[in-house]
Structure 1
Amino acid sequence: MTSKSPASATLAVWAGEDRSRRYQQATQIPVVRSISFGYDDLAMWHDVALGRQPGHIYSRNTNPTVEAFEDKIRILEGAEAATSFTSGMAAISATLFTLLKPGQRIVSIRDTYGGTNKLFTEFLPSFGIDVCLCDTTDAAAIEAQVAAGCQVLYLESPTNPTVKVVDIERLARAAHAAGALVVVDNTLATPINQNPLRLGADLVIHSASKFLGGHADALGGVACGSRALIHQLYHFREINGAALSAEDAYSLLRGMKTLALRIERQNESALRIAKWLQQHPLVDQVNYPGLESHPDHDIARRQMRGFGGVLSFSVVGGLEAIRVFLPKLQYANRAANLGSVETVVGPPVVTSHVECTDAERAAAGIPEGLVRYSTGIEDVQDLIADLEQALQALR
């Protein structure tokens, strides 16, 4: 037994894996496809159903494979508990509808993912929940709105796709002073680069479909936090039914074993690509918190261990130039996804904010000519050469 706490790379491989010993000494967590779990003893069945004994009753509630995935991300985030969902948006929706009631108020930022933004602008108001969206870069304005009263402060950092960074620790202090809970979407950072709970957040959310799984072949979402809060989210999810499948949980578990390796490579490649793009005459602006020129660089350097694999940039000529540039890329999937081992690229108008109107994207500070670039694990020189030849088409 070592006294030193294991590093993230070790936890990504081993965390949550001890339960495999229940399956004939299997070294890998198996896929348990059974919907139900039987008991001959009625008293034991009852105790398991009420949570007084460990075990499983029905896979909409809990499942051994899913539980192993929840354990792994829980340990990586340093949380007491975690519960999973069918997708990242299911996790976000369940969190907001669990924590908020009609007549209550939530404060958030303008630069959230498009689906989240739709919850704020369309769905929550229809349930009588007041939503206040603040300038992402104005911490003082956010603090003022929180102090005016709210039940939840919802943050995303870095943001998708503008990769802005908010001061989680500062805003969490303000929220707690006002009696509000703090929820942080940590999808772009991953627990390898950032742990919001250590910065004062009450709940951390991931779209596990992205960097956690890393192979674009499994949908899932997860929330981590205290036992009390996670129990509330779990109860909402078990009744509403957005349960993660055992097959997807297995794929996510397998993908997470290489999480630290992938993130290390993607951090390094994204920074090199961002620096290269910054010098290119056909690129107007580059957004990446690892750049010293990024407005939030100092915050990112303080609260993150790496700056992530996602960057965004604007090309000269706007959306029409993007129509020419994107098809020329050889080493990138043009798709509405991110966080994969393959590089994935696309403008927000057809990816992160496709549900939003032109006016809504403009209000969120997203120019029509913006390109989101999620760096894969390819050789970075090949990616740079690919970008160069594609940009040459604009000349």
Structure 2
Amino acid sequence: MSDDRTPEPSPPHFETIAIRTQAPTTPEREHSVPLYLTSSFQFDDAEHARALFADEIPGNIYSRYANPNTDEFIRKLCLLEGGEDGIATASGMSAVFTAIAARVSAGDHVLASRALFGSTHQLFTRILPRWGVVSDYADVSDPGSWERLLRPTTRLIFVETPSNPGLELIDLEWLGALARSRGIPLVVDNCFATPYLQRPLALGASVVIHSATKFIDGQGRTLGGAIVGDRAYLADCRFFARHTGPAMSAFNAWVLSKSLETLAVRMDRHCQNALTLARHLEGHPALEAVRYPFLPSHPQYALARRQMAQGGGIVALVLKGGLEAGRRVLDRVQLVSHSANLGDTRTIVTHPASTTHSKLTPAERRAVGISDGLIRVSVGLEHVGDIIFDLEQAMA
């Protein structure tokens, strides 16, 4: 006799996947996955070694190639992002570089969004040109610029959304359709949103990259990066990484896999605090503007509500008084940390014009919405009233 109370089978939810995806247990039957702090692994015999190096069978050879801890971290992230394959790297920028360098050669062209992290901008403008790889920046506010700037030699499209630090958004569904129509992979830096708030692969991207150092770790403890997405694209990334060495350590992978277990609950609080802060400070007499994707005043508010589950943990404050006003606020904060990182449990303020984006010319900064008075606030998990009080007293 059937029991009407038996629930219908359903796929696991995000939080369950993040917590319950684990490496196989050892004969010790541990509940928490152990650390595999070894540089290499043994072979059963000569034929086993040959088959492993020929990629005929799965298994571990050397921790620069793979390790049970990095495997668990990346398998979990692939499930959360909806990716076919992935690799873990030593840092976010090593993930950015690997995702690009693995797919381009001399004479190739890359099309990117204009608003990018400072180091990514340096990669496109000062490093890749040494090898004959050129790039163009498209304007988010001018959709036609993307099609005009594509070339027969364009090998990939690279974007950040929301952008660092101006919080510009890109319509991933539209851009993904354009990329597919031209047979060009779309690579999306999903660092600010994380897979909990935004899933670019479901919207048309080929590849997602992360600086796991940020919200994925979430506690300012370690460095890490990840590339997740299309299996064929990742095969090129794996070959490149295997022979150039941007490997994530087993310890960092163990930390980051544990961090993913609390990503959902942390991002809920980051977003709640950030929205409360943005609403409270909007219209403050010391500010020219408050930028946050889920504020109705954000020019891409409708897009943000369509492609993001929540608005994220970053708020941009544009201070009246420019550079000196920005420096004054940074010198006056007492609770909030002054640091170049983001995505921490602790609220952090950064002045991009003099730090993370200082290598850009003033004209380049203006083009991506970074004024001298812009302060990036990575809103932490403290009580939001304490965050508000400290920033208000610093602006007084």
Question: What's the TM-score bracket when you normalise by the shorter of the two chains?
Answer: over 0.9
Counterpart of 2:226 in 1: which secondary structure?
Answer: strand
- For residue 250 of structure 1, what is the aligned residue in structure 2? 254
How far did 1:120 drift? 1.2
Residue from 185, 192, 196 that aligns with 1:192: 196
- For residue 10 of structure 2, what is the aligned residue in structure 1? 4
How far did 1:226 drift? 1.8
Unmatched tracts of structure 1, length 5 or more: none
Counterpart amino acid of residue 304 in structure 2: A
Counterpart of 2:102 in 1: which secondary structure?
Answer: helix
The CA distance in 1 between the partners of 2:147 and 2:311, in whole Å, is: 25
CA 1:148 to 1:364, structure 2 compared with 1: closer, same or farther past 3 Å?
Answer: farther
CA 1:276 to 1:147, structure 2 compared with 1: closer, same or farther past 3 Å?
Answer: farther
Q: Deviations over 1:227-248 (max 9, x none)?
A: 2111110110010001000111
TM-score, L = length of structure 1: 0.95
CA 1:248 to 1:325, structure 2 compared with 1: closer, same or farther past 3 Å?
Answer: same
Q: Deviations over 1:315-366 (max 9, x none)?
A: 1111101222122222221111100111111111344313334343233331
Counterpart of 2:353 in 1: which secondary structure?
Answer: coil
Q: How does 1:46-195 map to 2 (within 5 A)?
A: 46-146=50-150, 150-195=154-199
Residue from 368, 373, 378 that aligns with 1:374: 378
How far did 1:23 drift? 5.6
The CA distance in 2 between the partners of 1:125 and 1:72, in whole Å, is: 35
Residue from 270, 276, 280 that aligns with 1:272: 276
How far did 1:256 drift? 1.5
> Once superposed, which parts of structure 1, at least 4 consecutive aligned residues long, lie more than 6 Å away?
none
The CA distance in 2 between the partners of 1:374 and 1:70, in whole Å, is: 25
- For residue 4 of structure 2, what is the aligned residue in structure 1? none
Counterpart of 2:208 in 1: which secondary structure?
Answer: strand
The CA distance in 2 between the partners of 1:138 and 1:264, in whole Å, is: 32
- Indicate if the aligned counterparts of 1:37 and 1:58 stay in contact, CA closer than 8 A: yes
Q: How does 1:323-338 map to 2 (within 5 A)?
A: 323-338=327-342
Residue from 6, 9, 20 that aligns with 1:14: 20
Matched, 1:231 2:239: no
Counterpart of 2:25 in 1: which secondary structure?
Answer: helix
The CA distance in 2 between the partners of 1:239 and 1:149, in whole Å, is: 26
Q: Deviations over 1:20-62 (max 9, x none)?
A: 4136211112211100101231111222222222210101101
Counterpart amino acid of residue 41 in structure 1: D
- Indicate if the aligned counterparts of 2:37 and 2:250 stay in contact, CA closer than 8 A: yes
- Indicate if the aligned counterparts of 2:350 and 2:376 stay in contact, CA closer than 8 A: yes
Q: How does 1:196-211 map to 2 (within 5 A)?
A: 196-211=200-215
- Indicate if the aligned counterparts of 1:108 and 1:155 stay in contact, CA closer than 8 A: yes
TM-score, L = length of structure 2: 0.95
Which stretch of the first structure deviates more once superposed, 160-169 or 382-391?
382-391
- Indicate if the aligned counterparts of 2:353 and 2:371 stay in contact, CA closer than 8 A: no
Matched, 1:295 2:299: yes
The CA distance in 2 between the partners of 1:63 and 1:39, in whole Å, is: 15
Q: Deviations over 1:172-217 (max 9, x none)?
A: 1111111211000000000000000000000000000000011111
- For residue 32 of structure 1, what is the aligned residue in structure 2? 36
Which stretch of the first structure deviates more once superposed, 24-33 or 85-94?
24-33
Which stretch of the first structure deviates more once superposed, 77-86 or 120-129?
120-129
The CA distance in 2 between the partners of 1:2 and 1:88, in whole Å, is: 40
Counterpart amino acid of residue 163 in structure 1: L
Matched, 1:347 2:345: no
CA 1:6 to 1:346, structure 2 compared with 1: closer, same or farther past 3 Å?
Answer: same
Counterpart amino acid of residue 195 in structure 2: P
How far did 1:136 drift? 2.4
Matched, 1:45 2:39: no
Counterpart of 1:151 in 2: which secondary structure?
Answer: strand
Q: Deviations over 1:96-151 (max 9, x none)?
A: 11111111111111101111111111112221112111112222211332377622
- Indicate if the aligned counterparts of 2:217 and 2:256 stay in contact, CA closer than 8 A: yes
- The percentage of counterpart residues that share the same residue type is 37
- For residue 3 of structure 2, what is the aligned residue in structure 1? none
Unmatched tracts of structure 2, length 5 or more: 1-6
- Indicate if the aligned counterparts of 2:111 and 2:138 stay in contact, CA closer than 8 A: yes
